Amino acid sequence: MLKYLHLLFLLLPFSVWGYSPEDVSSFTENYGYIAVRQMIDYDIPASIILAQAFLESKHGTSQLAKENNNFFGIKAKSDWDGPYVVMRSAEYKHHRRFVKKSRFRKYDFPEESWRDHSEFLANSRRYNRLFEKGLFNYRGWARGLQRAGYATDPKYASKLIHLIERHHLNDFDKVAFRIAHHIPINLEAVHPDNRQALRALQSIFEQVAQNTTQKELLAESAQQEKEMAESIQFDTNRTPEPAATKFYVYLSEETKPIIRQVDRSKIDHFEYKK
């Protein structure tokens, strides 16, 4: 009997919740870095950001997410002058579900929709009180989002809380706080299912810090050589040589966001609903 109950429990993620533990691990490995970066920049719990993106994009498998890089169902309203796509979306009214066509924003990269989502919450008066709940009160954030009218789904808050607690997504809140305050990360203190994603996330932040340091050193070296060259008095018959050309060329190159340089295989709907 216990054997069959155990088998039933293993099948529950597929039959009841519509996803597997592997889906969660893959999602956090690919996008955990972005959620943590957003928490550091906007003071929104990474667990809430991850849970919303996971839920809205069907763990990254929705057509809107895969083909248009829109992970939050962000709708293209009259103030949007960028590309968009028309798709069907589910809405709720008086606790009844219905489907309608809507215009959704289209992005070149996933992180652009994640940033749009954070900026909306941070700049909207409707959600001001959420920021008073603190970075570790994901339950308060989830319920506050629903009370403020973020989503029409009457079970939206409970779905977010379920996702966070079932998969320990609040581990990402703790890690984000430590990174922001330069506190070493103890991977033994997080849930085993999240260690691979957080180990990858840690390596990305270390790479960012290293790249920043190298760029600062190159800039400082280039400036020193430039000052030295300007201070040299050349003979009238001598043609001065350009100083530190390679540094100037390097520093003039346009840099890309570090997330786009990462090999994701190794990283190891919006209406803003009213």
Has residue 270 got a pLDDT over 50?
Answer: no
Hey, is 73 helix, strand or coil?
A: coil
- What pLDDT does residue 94 have? 53
Q: Which of 31-40, 129-138, 188-197, 202-211 has the lowest mean pLDDT?
A: 202-211
Q: Which of 46-50, 99-103, 129-133, 144-148 has the lowest mean pLDDT?
A: 99-103
**Cα(109)–Cα(217) distance, rounded to whole angstroms?**
30
Average pLDDT over residues 142-171: 93
- What pLDDT does residue 226 have? 65
- What pLDDT does residue 115 have? 95
Q: How confident is the model at residue 199 (pLDDT cuts 50, 70, 90)?
A: confident
Has residue 228 got a pLDDT over 80?
Answer: no
- What pLDDT does residue 219 have? 64
Has residue 3 got a pLDDT over 50?
Answer: no
Average pLDDT over residues 112-141: 93
Tell me 62's DSSP state.
S
- What pLDDT does residue 267 have? 39
Element containing residue 169 per DSSP (H, E): none
116 against 229, higher pLDDT:
116
- What pLDDT does residue 203 have? 83
Average pLDDT over residues 84-95: 71
Q: Per residue in 17-70, pLDDT tens? A: 578 888 999 999 999 999 999 999 999 999 999 999 999 999 999 999 999 999
Averaged confidence pLDDT in the chain: 77
Could you write out the DSSP letters of every residue in 79-142? T--S-EEEEEEEEEETTEEEEEEEEEE--SSHHHHHHHHHHHHHH-GGGGGGGGS-SS-HHHHH
- What pLDDT does residue 232 have? 55
**Cα(149)–Cα(153) distance, rounded to whole angstroms?**
9
- Tell me the torsion sign for CA atoms 138, 140, 143, 147: negative
Has residue 169 got a pLDDT over 90?
Answer: yes
- Tell me the torsion sign for CA atoms 99, 104, 108, 109: negative
**Cα(49)–Cα(135) distance, rounded to whole angstroms?**
12
The answer to whether residues 61 and 157 touch, using CB atoms and an 8 Å cutoff, is no
Average pLDDT over residues 170-174: 94
- What pLDDT does residue 206 have? 78
Q: Which domains does the chain have, with CATH numbers?
A: 17-261 (1.10.530.10)
